[in-house]
A and B are shown apart, each in its own frame.
Chain A
Amino acid sequence: MADLWLQFILTIDATFRVATPLILCAMAGIFSERSGIIDISLEGKMLMAAFTAATIAALTSSPLLALGAAVLVSVVFSLIHGFACITHKGNQVVSGLAINILASGLTVTLGIAIFSQGGQTPYLSGDQRFSSFDLPFAEAARSVPILGTIYAELISGHNILVWVALVSVALTGVVVMRTRFGLRLRAVGEKPEAVDTAGISVTILRYQAVVIAGVLCGIAGAYLSIAHGAGFVREMTAGKGYIALAAMIFGNWRPLQALYACLMFGFLDALAARLQGVDLPYLGQISTDLILALPYVLTVVFLAGFIGKATPPAAIGTPYVKER
């Protein structure tokens, strides 16, 4: 029983590790989409950021500098997205897709040019990354049953960016739901002409939204390559940006619900990893590939209105054109 309990806690622990980039990207998606800009380029921005972080960490050995550079590059790609969608009123899905494809080509091309290791970056050692740290008394608490295990295995032993992701949810909730900026942000995604009539610039608001999204995707990318991982490998985001998008939709474009969705999708991922090749009583071996498809299936079912009702921002996807 104690062993099963430990297994459970370890799976939950893994859930948080897997869910961290999803949470950050889902919050990024909320900022962008609540302002009316569809963002399927979460994936590409995260990939560019992961590559930049690993590159700068390998060259300078400073994880903080690497994080800063990752955020900067991700914001640049956000601005490209904004330039296409806001300034030039281009198709938001096409622009996002272009950024994703561009990112997967650019990271490998630059990676080979800089490091000549087939698109990877060199392995990063402990002090070049954000390492996990134990909270005080973690070792001492381990002997305490239940609460001690939770403290030592689940709460302690994460790297700083896991905590940043959790804080980002609270911040997103407060900023989007409780501030004047957030009110305007939501308004511009629902009825931009009303915001315009009030004398507030739709363009500036939407640019602010995509830049915030860029910052969050940048942190998510850095987490992948210099906190959770120890270097960049090609296509390292592996669809996580799209899962985050699904989680954001599943959370109905709301921060707290999106967090739950990210944790659920992260849990499925962690569970699949744990069940790989394990014989379960009565069930035998479960195909982990099908567990991994569940987030997508659930999102489709949710969007179709079979569980709950999806209410996307009203003006999403439509560029704002002033009446003349």
Chain B
Amino acid sequence: MSTTLPRWIDVGLLPLINILAAFIVSGVIIALIGENPFTALTVMLKGAFVYKGALGYTLFYTTNFIFTGLAVAVAFHAMLFNIGGEGQAMLGGIGIGVVALALGGLVPPVLVVLLAIPMSALMGAIWGIIPGWLQAKRGSHIVITTIMFNFIASSIMVWLLTGPMLREGQISPESEHFADGVLLPQMHTLFNAMGMEMARSPLNLSFVLALVMSVVGWALIWRTRLGYTIRATGHSEKATIYAGHSPQKIIMITMAISGALAGMMALNEILGVQQKVILGFTSGYGFTGIAVALMGRNHPVGILFASLLFGALYQGGAELDFEFQNITREMVLMIQGLIILFSGALVYMFNPMLERIYHRLTRGNALTQEEGA
């Protein structure tokens, strides 16, 4: 949809208005169930930023969203809708588990970690490239295929964790603990070792990795020939063919990159905190990645801000459990759904209104200038 608005309104103001709309509706619902929406907001803000260690938790969740948001964004540039982030992250987790459980204790932990990182990306990439191949060569719709692949991945997880990977003597579905030292260092240990104070939190090196991947993603999309071709394919497959590239190949490469990024989300949860493969560790982060990419307008900088917003929502939402009787963290899911609705599906609802106001204001300016002259 074309817009006659300047860029700062389109990328800056419009997303803010959409988030505001989502928060207003959420506030009305909170008021309807008999709680004070402003108190709830304060509790969430404090829980996300103010309490000791809160920021660490917020950034920990942010890390998940950066990975899944980047994954969705890269695919979006080729006009591919990858909603299989959940499944790709699960496969990434399985990859980490296989490496860590097979090699842990045999080779130095550092080596295991260094192998587990590319393995998470590789497994995610495989779970992305298959739907990519099916779309490119067999014409299946990528949205449906990736939905199905989420469910298939989840069945594989259940099967592995209740069967072959199940920890001995354990009933709850989880794998053996990884060997000692097979984990990504946590930020507070690193900082404390360097003599700086930092409160305990699950924030680990994955966060740095996520920031690095944001830069890599930016460079890939806007500064490389491949990125250019990906964007060209998104605009017009015919143009890509004319330029001598194969759109099929680009679709598969893009889905592999996208899947790899989603797979790396597992690093944060599995290698950063759990040190074992558990069921349901993706808890919807793959889906939230779609909201993150939409809000961030598929640009790494936007994705960082959107990830921080959702990270704060998740961490602040956990605080709601303690402070209220009637509100739990599921409230966050509701807010999230509204954010996706307003900043995704209804993204241009406020556009005509903004355009009217903007043009009235600028015309007003132009007139006064004329009168002045």
Residues of A near any B CB (own CB < 8 A): 38, 40, 80, 83-85, 88-95, 97-106, 108-110, 112-113, 116, 119, 234, 239, 242, 245-246, 249, 287, 289-290, 292-293, 296-297, 299-300, 303-306, 310, 312
- Residue of A88, A101, A290 near B333 (CB, 8 A) is A101
B145 touches A303 (CB 8 A): yes
A100 to B336, CA, bound (A): 11
Digit string of B16-35 for contact with A (CB within 8 Å is 1, else 0)?
00000000000001000110
- Interface check B192, CB cutoff 8 A: no
Q: Known contacts being A299-B148, A300-B149, is A109 close to B341, with CB within 8 Å? A: no
- Interface check B287, CB cutoff 8 A: yes
A290 to B155, CA, bound (A): 6
Q: State the Cβ distance, B304 to closest chain A Cβ, in Å.
A: 21
A312 to B330, CA, bound (A): 36
- Residue of A80, A85, A102, A249 near B334 (CB, 8 A) is A102
B334 touches A109 (CB 8 A): yes
- Interface check B223, CB cutoff 8 A: no
- Residue of B29, B81, B333 near A104 (CB, 8 A) is B333
- Interface check B337, CB cutoff 8 A: yes
- Interface check B138, CB cutoff 8 A: yes
A303 touches B134 (CB 8 A): yes
A312 to B144, CA, bound (A): 12
- Residue of B34, B287, B341 near A95 (CB, 8 A) is B341
Q: Known contacts being A104-B333, A105-B331, A290-B159, is A88 close to B341, with CB within 8 Å? A: no
Q: State the Cβ distance, A160 to closest chain B Cβ, in Å.
A: 31
Digit string of B301-337 for contact with A (CB within 8 Å is 1, else 0)?
0000000000000000000000001111011111111
20 additional A-B pairs beyond A101-B284, A246-B144, beta carbons within 8 Å, are A84-B345, A90-B345, A93-B81, A94-B344, A95-B345, A98-B345, A101-B336, A104-B330, A109-B331, A234-B330, A239-B151, A246-B148, A293-B151, A296-B148, A297-B148, A297-B152, A300-B145, A303-B145, A304-B138, A305-B139
Q: State the Cβ distance, B266 to closest chain A Cβ, in Å.
A: 20
Q: State the Cβ distance, A34 to closest chain B Cβ, in Å.
A: 16
A116 to B326, CA, bound (A): 7
Tell me the chain B residues, 342-373 only, with Cβ under 8 Å from chain A. 344-349
Among B138, B143, B144, residue most surrounded by chain A Cβ atoms (within 10 Å): B144
**Which 9 pairs from chain A and chain B are nearest by CB?**
A102-B337, A105-B333, A105-B334, A95-B345, A293-B155, A90-B345, A113-B33, A101-B337, A84-B345
Q: State the Cβ distance, B230 to closest chain A Cβ, in Å.
A: 20
A102 touches B341 (CB 8 A): yes
B347 touches A296 (CB 8 A): no
- Report the nearest B residue to A102, measured CB to CB: B337
- Interface check B158, CB cutoff 8 A: yes
Among B29, B330, B335, B336, residue most surrounded by chain A Cβ atoms (within 10 Å): B330
Chain B residues lying within 8 Å of A94, measured Cβ to Cβ, are 290, 294, 340, 344-345
- Interface check B107, CB cutoff 8 A: no
B34 touches A113 (CB 8 A): yes
B287 touches A101 (CB 8 A): yes
By size class, the interface of chain B is: 35 or more
A109 to B337, CA, bound (A): 13
- Interface check B156, CB cutoff 8 A: yes
Chain A residues lying within 8 Å of B331, measured Cβ to Cβ, are 105, 109
B341 touches A98 (CB 8 A): yes
Chain A residues lying within 8 Å of B330, measured Cβ to Cβ, are 104-105, 108-109, 112, 119, 234
Q: Total A-B residue pairs with C-beta atoms closer than 8 Å? A: 150
Tell me the chain B residues, 177-218 only, with Cβ under 8 Å from chain A. none
A90 touches B151 (CB 8 A): no
A-B contacts, 22 of them at CB < 8 A, read A80-B341, A88-B349, A90-B345, A94-B345, A95-B341, A101-B284, A101-B333, A101-B337, A109-B327, A112-B327, A113-B326, A116-B325, A287-B159, A289-B159, A290-B159, A296-B148, A299-B148, A300-B134, A303-B134, A303-B140, A303-B144, A305-B138
- Interface check B273, CB cutoff 8 A: no
A303 to B133, CA, bound (A): 12
Q: Known contacts being A93-B83, A99-B337, A113-B33, is A88 close to B348, with CB within 8 Å? A: yes
A292 touches B337 (CB 8 A): no
Chain B residues lying within 8 Å of A119, measured Cβ to Cβ, are 328, 330
Chain A residues lying within 8 Å of B159, measured Cβ to Cβ, are 287, 289-290
Chain A residues lying within 8 Å of B152, measured Cβ to Cβ, are 293, 296-297, 300
- Residue of B33, B147, B163, B284 near A40 (CB, 8 A) is B147
- Interface check B141, CB cutoff 8 A: yes
A112 to B294, CA, bound (A): 31
- Report the nearest A residue to B324, measured CB to CB: A112
- Interface check B338, CB cutoff 8 A: yes
Q: State the Cβ distance, A46 to closest chain B Cβ, in Å.
A: 15
A310 to B135, CA, bound (A): 13
B151 touches A105 (CB 8 A): no
B143 touches A93 (CB 8 A): yes
A89 touches B139 (CB 8 A): no
Tell me the chain B residues, 1-54 only, with Cβ under 8 Å from chain A. 1, 29, 33-34
- Interface check B246, CB cutoff 8 A: no
- Interface check B274, CB cutoff 8 A: no
A296 to B151, CA, bound (A): 7
Q: State the Cβ distance, A233 to closest chain B Cβ, in Å.
A: 13
- Interface check B162, CB cutoff 8 A: yes
Q: State the Cβ distance, B70 to closest chain A Cβ, in Å.
A: 18
B163 touches A287 (CB 8 A): yes
Chain B residues lying within 8 Å of A116, measured Cβ to Cβ, are 325-326
Chain B residues lying within 8 Å of A40, measured Cβ to Cβ, are 143, 147
